[in-house]
Structure 1
């Protein structure tokens, strides 16, 4: 089994309005996932510098960032980043350019974790329902056009308040959703904005929201997680 997680880390600015990357890493350590999709992982302006620096990740030692190589000092693409276990192998990776009015994107990587290869997509979709659906269609089409197919996990902040409509309906035509739970707002969760999905050659064995004293203050979103295995 492989444990995956998704976390809108809000540039490591917590509900106390303090930027503390070490606290973000502490939350990730509590989850202890094999593959992690991060949103808002880079600073917003200027060089879009990674909030979790190579030094911090190296000191922690559990994970490494998948190098997209788009911006020299960024970890991801429009704030989307992927972390994997330090002993996992990256087979391929790329950014997915999404139709949008504001900076949005997705990232995809093929990784080998304990001998199993999976494709992982991290995303942060638009605030507009119309653009969310266009972005969902772009991601689905990008995956379908790949010459090589792998069992696939999609994760991220979908910004979808509907229970089953909008982009959720589009994704549900191709993927199964994990029953994670409400992740926003971290202090009093009322919405399932953060989602994990998988292709139908995978099955979820467990899923949930990581709610701890640290996660309730580290960001305005709680992390979501799931374990998957071949169906």
Structure 2
């Protein structure tokens, strides 16, 4: 099974500054992922031609199962917070999760929100800037995958998220998310732009990285901000790759995996978001 995570920058290319839906679909198809986590996803936004980018990606990778969770409603000039459970019937922006395998249940999880402006020193600055973060969420799916030995399908949990860029706050959100995921079927894989460099994501979560590959910036990447972390009986069968798709300011992170042994948890029967 191939897993991938991709911060898509709403499908925009840094080369020409444009969003081309055919180019975006081709980039997703090139990943050939069985499960794909997306961040910075538009729906009904003028800057991305009013498209549902989750649906475009689902068609490109032939993923019958897919969900989008809005974290912001409105357009970039007038954002407002969106409830991850009650999705707005308007232009929105958030995260998505897509699967070629059947999904047994969906779960939207709100992460701790920083509601005030805080000082952050960005690279090249001496004086901190006062910044305010956007709402953050995670989207989890319990999926059913074929057993390696040809026996009955087994369950695992996959999660997409995009954590804060504010130092310290992203670690708090990750610890909160790991606690929320204690009771889900194992193995569980967390994918996304965690805004944590190197091995810090693994140290904070105490989960195993399935690949360690620099993903940012797009050209000559020197940092790994995008991660695939696992807990439970799953292992990487490849070293993983960071792919330049020609879109975004991040590279897509791809890794092939296999279940190591029979998962320990039963499968929930509900389907809800």
**What TM-score do you get using the length of structure 2 for normalisation?**
0.70
**2:175 aligned to which of 137, 148, 153:** 137
Q: Which residues of structure 2 form unaligned runs of 5+?
A: 69-84, 115-133, 147-152, 261-273
**2:204 aligned to which of 145, 170, 175:** 170
**What TM-score do you get using the length of structure 1 for normalisation?**
0.82
Matches within 5 A, 1:7-86: 7-15=6-14, 16-43=16-43, 51-52=52-53, 54=55, 56-57=56-57, 60=60, 62-67=62-67, 70-71=86-87, 79-85=94-100
3-state SS in 2 of match to 1:29: helix
**2:108 aligned to which of 90, 95, 100:** 95
**1:119 aligned to which of 154, 157, 161:** 157
Cα RMSD after superposing both structures: 2.7
Q: Which residues of structure 1 form unaligned runs of 5+?
A: none
Q: Assess if the C-alpha contact under 8 Å between 2:138 and 2:160 holds in 1.
A: yes
Q: Assess if the C-alpha contact under 8 Å between 1:65 and 1:81 holds in 2.
A: no
Count of aligned positions: 216
Distance in 2, matches of 1:155 and 1:62, equals 20
Distance in 2, matches of 1:131 and 1:45, equals 28
In structure 2, the CA distance between the partners of 1:98 and 1:78, relative to structure 1 (3 Å rule), is farther
3-state SS in 2 of match to 1:128: coil
**1:193 aligned to which of 225, 232, 235:** 225
In structure 2, the CA distance between the partners of 1:51 and 1:10, relative to structure 1 (3 Å rule), is farther
Distance in 1, matches of 2:58 and 2:253, equals 24
